[in-house]
Structure 1
């Protein structure tokens, strides 16, 4: 059995495992960087617990996923190479294998966690439940389609395995990919728009502009994740088995996108605080403010009685948490 892309399924499995291992290595390094930003010159009570929990969950899920992928690869190429009907190619095409179902269940959980973080950030910045009602509904759609796809993987018939893209399994997978892409883009768009409007109002009255590239960080992370999802959707539209490869790669990409946002914002803020502290031209007033607020928020309301942001929230030092 050869895939529509001309690449045997066993070769695709090896390719996805190697590429995921590389991305997993990057995610581990970035996870260590996140831990460093948590602990560097800080007490345990100052640690942002919600972000610490999310970072730990992302690491656990991505680590578990790559372990299951390695076991799946070992089963197909070693344990059942000579006993499975059709050999390794047929084994890796069989979506009912326990290891295949488990790794896709982990992928679903990783996606739900990543999308949930973006929605949570959106709520923190907007400080309004009404804004996230639609993203939350869409997130529930992602959860439903993900659960259904994993269930139908485990219950797939021989005909559905041979005609994966045209079967109900393929339809659920396409729904899952499209819904998570739409949810992520909508939530990121709302988040970026809110930050942009607040920064524009603040910069209109501030004598100096802050150089924290919040929007750029968010956009970079969104582009990275959206590119991976878009590639998966294109593979599905072309009935290309590269979809299996992209499915494994998205798991570490979700972790990388989260760590990237946190590290870049936290590092930028720490650098700004350091420069403001050691700069020779810093005035006594500025030094007094720095002593009172050693980690200034990304966006703050200026002391101007004629200026008002209404109920605009502050974006705190920890990124959106």
Structure 2
């Protein structure tokens, strides 16, 4: 099966991938609308998490631009220059020197930097420690450097097959590897920290649980990481699947993995948590002292969660 995919002409790969990208883009548009709704429904303007909302809008604009450029490129290769481009449509889609292709790859790199940057930012907010995010920040910078050289190298490439063998292929592989490790490592740190927050206030029996948040964050990380890992495998096998996933499918998946965090939490939306059980007290210390101390801890942690776009009222 691998050889069949490898031998598939790039015009056929581009057509199939654009159709699949259009389907995924449609889902991402619906999820974008739902995300904006969760940010603004019954909230004042000052209560909206503006940085996270701005990232959501930018991801939507970048994915829309990518979709439009793909349609233009598809029309050029299969219709406009079908009989005039040397080598036909297959050679057209193998020509990385076209402006449309360079713009498309630049959009993917920018979108990746935004999504990875949000995960690193969330880690810093919940950990409140610069030392914890030093390694994720270094990996994010590596993504930016490798992505920049990838865009530059692809703009000079003339044959799709050389991408797997020349220096551009090394930059592209490094870019994919670093975005994979940055997302996976940062998401792991974020999930672990949220879990420890829950453990520290576990003596209060509330209507809110932390497990749905951790599960949503892990699911989003797995979705994006599985996609980037597939690109790495395809590059290692010199498989045209890397062309399909890396140039078409990964773009809407980045947006979907970002939006799904807010959509799935909004589905579980409930009322504010209230104390529904008892609190064990130490000998000689009044009950209300424990209640006040632990509720203060809950409030502080609610503020941290709200800063990363997870509103406390939406937890169950």
- Under TM normalisation by the shorter chain, which class is it? 0.7 to 0.9
Distance in 1, Cα, partners of 2:48 & 2:293: 34
Given that 1:196 and 1:215 are in contact with CA atoms closer than 8 Å, whether structure 2 keeps it comes out as yes
Structure 2 unaligned residues grouped into runs of 5+: 278-289, 310-316
Q: Which residue of 2 aligns with 1:183?
A: 182
Instruction: Report if aligned partners of 1:27, 1:252 keep a CA contact under 8 Å in 2.
Output: yes
Q: Partner of 2:257 in structure 1? A: 257
Deviations 1:193-230 (A, max 9, x none): 11111211211x11346234110010000010011111
Corresponding position of 1:100? 101
Counterpart of 2:285 in structure 1 is none
Number of the residue aligned with 1:237: 236
- Per-residue deviation, residues 82-105 of structure 1 (Å, max 9, x unmatched): 111100001111111111111001
Contact 1:101 / 1:153 at 8 angstroms: preserved in 2? Answer: yes
Native 8 Å contact 2:63 2:252 kept in 1: yes
SS in structure 2 opposite 1:164?
Answer: helix
Tell me what 1:296 maps to. none
Deviations 1:124-163 (A, max 9, x none): 11011221111111101000000001101111245xx443
From 295, 308, 311, the counterpart of 1:320: 308
Preserved contact between residue 266 and residue 317 of structure 1 (Cα < 8 Å): no
CA distance in structure 1 between the aligned counterparts of 2:95 and 2:79, rounded to whole angstroms: 16
In the aligned structure 2, how far is the partner of 1:148 from the partner of 1:120?
A: 24
Contact 1:27/1:255 (<8 A) preserved = yes
4+ runs deviating over 4 angstroms: 304-309, 312-317
> CA RMSD for the aligned pairs?
2.5
Counterpart position of 2:37: 36
- Normalising to structure 2: TM-score of the pair? 0.85
When residues 135 and 181 of structure 1 are mapped into structure 2, their CA distance, relative to the original with a 3 A threshold, is same
CA distance in 1, matches of 2:138, 2:294: 39
8 Å contact 2:49–2:307 — kept in the other structure?
no
Q: 1:211 aligns with which of 209, 212, 232?
A: 209
- In structure 1, runs of 5+ residues without a counterpart are 284-301
